[in-house]
């Protein structure tokens, strides 16, 4: 039984928004999509070691001033438009580069009650409302894209625009959108609480110019860590998050006691 159902059964108010039911992330891994954050709450599957009530990830953010670019390139948008992206300075394709984010000028943008990473050199270069797009075609660009899209695609008033523009267009995209819409129908707010888990660390699993797979770790105030594999695809001139075949964020979700083995994000 999920944490919110246990709470409801006791007659108490839910302590956070992450226990809202959403949709199954993958066969064999039953997950609840956080109504106001994209990271999944694991209710069945692999634990490492497990905490039954591990909360999901937080995320929400306001638009920030985009970094300036030098030149622009265009690619056709899914709605027939041609959004342009400024050229970005990060051109390093060595996967080892993700271990050091200082050279790309990492900063943090406020999205609701949480912070999301941004870079003057790796993106997002264009932020409009809840949509933060235009990432460098590099491992660090893919990392920043997934850190932002995974949160923005489930949170904030512009989440549908994020799904439309920044989720890879395949069959899972529609299933994902339906799951988020169902979660939002039970919510009174577009954002989670200020006690939401924070983006803590990451691992680069694999990288090609077309596809990047990263393992992101989120930590809640109690120290419980939720990790999940996320995939980015280079499509129409930008990184887009590809959802799992069943329409969830990930097919691989684990709960842990710490972030050992992960590269930690600089404090933000």
Q: What is the mean pLDDT of each run of 10 residues along the chain (268 residues)?
A: 40 33 27 34 34 33 36 40 84 97 95 91 96 98 97 92 97 94 69 72 97 95 91 97 92 90 89
Nearest one of 219, 222, 221 to 199, comparing CA atoms:
219
Structure tokens that stand for 228 in this block: 């999940």
Q: Is the distance from CB of 196 to CB of 204 less than 8 angstroms?
A: no
- Give the pLDDT of residue 190: 65
Please state, in angstroms and as integers, the Cα–Cα distance from residue 243 to each residue in 56, 87, 194, following that order. Answer: 17, 27, 26
With contact defined as beta carbons under 8 Å apart, do 7 and 16 qualify?
no
Which pLDDT does position 67 carry in this prediction?
A: 39
CA neighbor of 201 nearest in space, from 227, 231, 223: 227
| Residue 156: closest CA among 146, 144, 148 | 148
DSSP 190: S
Look up the pTM and report it: 0.73
Alpha helices in 132-249 (DSSP H): 139-152, 159-166, 171-184
């Amino acid at each position: 039984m999920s944490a919110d159902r246990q709470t409801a059964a006791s007659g108490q108010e839910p302590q956070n928004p992450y226990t809202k039911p959403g949709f199954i992330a993958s066969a064999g891994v039953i997950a609840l999509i956080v109504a106001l954050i994209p990271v999944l709450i694991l209710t069945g599957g692999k634990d490492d070691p497990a905490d039954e009530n591990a909360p999901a990830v937080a995320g929400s953010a306001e638009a920030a001033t985009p970094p300036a670019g030098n030149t622009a390139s265009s690619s056709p948008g899914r709605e027939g438009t041609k959004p342009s992206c400024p050229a970005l300075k990060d051109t390093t394709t060595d996967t080892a580069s993700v271990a050091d984010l200082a050279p790309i000028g990492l900063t943090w943008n406020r999205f609701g009650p949480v912070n999301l990473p941004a870079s003057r050199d790796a993106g997002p270069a264009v932020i409009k409302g809840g949509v933060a797009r235009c990432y460098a075609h590099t491992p660090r660009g893919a990392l920043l894209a997934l850190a932002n899209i995974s949160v923005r695609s489930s949170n904030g008033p512009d989440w549908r625009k994020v799904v439309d523009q920044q989720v890879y267009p395949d069959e899972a995209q529609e299933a994902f959108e339906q799951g988020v819409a169902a979660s939002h129908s039970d919510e009174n707010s577009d954002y989670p609480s200020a006690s939401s888990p924070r983006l803590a660390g990451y691992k680069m699993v694999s990288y090609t110019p077309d596809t990047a797979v990263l393992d992101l770790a989120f930590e809640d105030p109690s120290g419980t860590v939720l990790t999940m594999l996320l995939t980015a695809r280079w499509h129409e001139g930008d990184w887009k998050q590809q959802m799992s075949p069943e329409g969830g964020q990930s097919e691989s979700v684990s709960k842990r006691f710490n972030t050992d083995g992960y590269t930690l994000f600089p404090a933000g």
